[in-house]
Amino acid sequence: MTDPLLPILVAAFVWFTPSPRHAYGLIVNYGNQHMVEINADYRGYDLSFYPDRCGGSAISRADIGKMFWVKLPGGRWYGGCLFVDVGARHDFPDQIKRGEIAELPDWMLEKFDKYYSVWGEIYIGQCPPRGGTPQRYSPELIYRNDGYNYVPIPPQEKPSMICRNDIID
């Protein structure tokens, strides 16, 4: 029997559904760089490998610790960055319904002349693609009181190759 005092959350396996490697959607403000630094430090991640100590928050729990790139329509890729955090499980359904794909620090949004949110692309991996069609991140929302089993924080993905500079800033 389900405890009526427990909130009904999206099922853990849904929250762990990885984002598409190349996704299009809403990129929102995560806060200031201090949020990035605190979460990276808490998880033992080193931001010195990434330009401008670039980091952000993923929507899927499966994507934390992965490298990512950001691009606005008509722009060039910026990155690689590191997902140092993930949105809360209880926020996940609303994030999916709004079409969110990442949360970035305010300095990064300002770099794109935006201040709260913007539609754009992310690419999760070592080097962004030259072309391709991004997908929307829209896992089916299944709700359950299935608890939460602790999952260790994965090691960070570090840059291991040099990307083509004709498509990145």
Tens of pLDDT, residues 8-54: 788 888 999 999 999 999 999 999 999 999 999 999 999 999 999 99
Specify whether the CB–CB gap between 50 and 160 falls below 8 A: no
Phi, psi of 71 (to 5 degrees): -145, 135
**Token pair for residue 107?**
């300095």
**For residue 152, what pLDDT is reported?**
82
Domain boundaries, the chain: 25-144
Contact at 8 Å (CB) between 63 and 88?
no
Q: Give CA angle at 163 (78, 40), nearest 5°.
A: 55
Mean pLDDT of all residues in the chain?
89
pLDDT of residue 167: 60
CATH of 25-144, one of 3.20.20.70, 2.40.40.10, 1.10.10.10, 3.40.50.300: 2.40.40.10
Q: Which two tokens stand for residue 105?
A: 């620090």
